Amino acid sequence: MSDYVKQLVVDISKQQLSLHTPEQILHYPVSTALKGTGQMHGSGKTPTGRHKVKIKIGQGCPSNTVFVGRRPTGEVFSDQLMQSNPQRDWILSRLIWLTGLESGINRCGKVDTLSRYIYIHGCPDAEPMGIPRSHGCIRMRNDDIISLFELIDNGTEVLIK
């Protein structure tokens, strides 16, 4: 990593995301896929390797904004909303959509991170961090994803290991 480049590192074994900047390293607890790591479309696994931030979604939305299909629904997450939709995979507050950088590993064909809709995103704060529980994405607490969202740009490098 260059001294002038920000980089995100997701350490699956530690269930931790680290933001490396020239000034500091910030650490955030995360939750990656319940099914472990893997690249294949439909696997429900978190892809590994070199990625970058393709698109940031949710700028200016309130904390706990509910997203479906990468669009805010107009809902704000609450316990009542969760009880009325118990099977929903909650994507909240912000989305950081990733694209792979390694052809045949996490880019193109059946292993393409972007077409798998792999995000770093907020989830209900009652969901545990530090334990694999997602459907393939990287989940974060809402305050953490909002903070991280403001610190990075499209194109930021992401290493998932």
Residue 110 lies in a domain: yes
Number of domains the chain is built from:
1
Q: Is residue 1 part of a domain?
A: no
- Looking at the domain assignment, is residue 87 inside a domain? yes
**pLDDT given at position 3:** 44
Dig out the tokens for 156 from the structure. 């930021």
Q: What's the CATH number where 125 sits?
A: 2.40.440.10
Angle at 47 between CA 147 and CA 62, to 5 degrees: 25
67 domain-assigned: yes
- What 3-state DSSP class applies to 81? helix
- What's CA 105's distance to the chain center, in Å? 19
Listed residue (53, 136, 50) closest to 91, CA to CA: 136
pTM assigned to the model: 0.94
d(CA 38, CA 20): 25
**Domain assignment of residue 93, yes or no:** yes
State which residues form the domain around 47.
Answer: 7-160
Per-residue pLDDT 10s for the chain (161 aa) are: 444 579 999 999 999 999 999 889 999 999 999 999 999 999 999 999 999 999 999 999 999 999 999 999 999 999 999 999 988 999 999 999 999 999 999 999 999 999 999 999 999 999 999 999 999 999 999 999 999 999 999 999 999 99
AA letter at 131: I
Examine residue 2 and state whether it is found in any structural domain, yes or no: no
